[in-house]
Amino acid sequence: MSTTHNPFHDWSNPNSGASGSPAMLPPHRTGFRTNRVLTLQYVRLNPDVLNCTIVDPNNVPWLDVITAPNGNRTVFRNLQGPNTGALAYIIDWARPSSVEINGVRKAIGPWLGFSADQNHQVMNVGGRPYTWVYRDNGHCLDPVGAAAMNPPLVRIYRIASAITLELTIEATQLNLLDAAVVAVVAFHSNRLS
């Protein structure tokens, strides 16, 4: 993928064939052979999600999440494949906060903002709005205006010392992987206002 490729553009076109993901899971580790949900876990929380490791469905480290000592920047570093060591995503926490994926920067507020009634969050990916609602003991993502899906496109929940991210096949086809991986850190960072 070239550095001029815009992953947010591809997110708007599920038929583009592009993942938009600078940290795409290797095909043999997608986890979809036996079920219809891809599960990633955020483990080794040190002391929280701002410094942790994301493991793939086979419990193999996939990304390291590292926050600068001053707390102003969080980076996601690839641990697998040809891009090992490269930065996959960046969150800059300085005001206004922003997220960067594959060289494309977006302000966090418009990308992952609160609804007008402050009851849920709306995430915009590729020009399509999705809504995060707390249900089933976790944050669940569905298209705005759609009835609650079962299972939801994406679900985030925490049990003990791990945070779990589940994505349906449909979510990966809609290219929600990158946004969901970063959203987990944003939600559990306690830095969204």
pLDDT digits (tens, 9 = 90+) for 82-129: 888 889 999 999 988 999 976 789 999 888 888 888 888 999 888 899
Q: What angle do CA 131, 133, 138 make, to 5 degrees?
A: 130
Q: What is the pLDDT of residues 148-165, one digit of tens each?
A: 888 899 999 999 889 999
The phi and psi torsions of 169 (rounded to 5 degrees) equal -55, -40
* Cα distance between residue 20 and residue 149, in whole Å: 24
CA 119 to chain centre: 21
DSSP annotation of 3 reads T
CB-based contacts of 135, cutoff 8 Å, min separation 6: 148
The residue among 127, 126, 157 whose CA lies nearest residue 141 is: 157
* Cα distance between residue 56 and residue 50, in whole Å: 18
User: pLDDT band for position 50 (50/70/90)?
Assistant: very high
SS3 of 170, please?
helix
What are the distances in angstroms from CA 163 to CA 37, 48, 158, 187? 16, 10, 4, 11
User: pLDDT band for position 145 (50/70/90)?
Assistant: confident
Long-range contacts of 151-158 (CB under 8 A, 24+ apart): 151/37, 154/180, 154/183, 156/180, 156/183, 156/184, 156/187, 158/188
Mean pLDDT computed over 121-139: 90
Sole residue written with tokens 């986890």: 31
DSSP annotation of 186 reads H
Other beta carbons within 10 angstroms of residue 113's beta carbon come to 14
7-21, 139-153, 172-186: range with highest mean pLDDT = 172-186
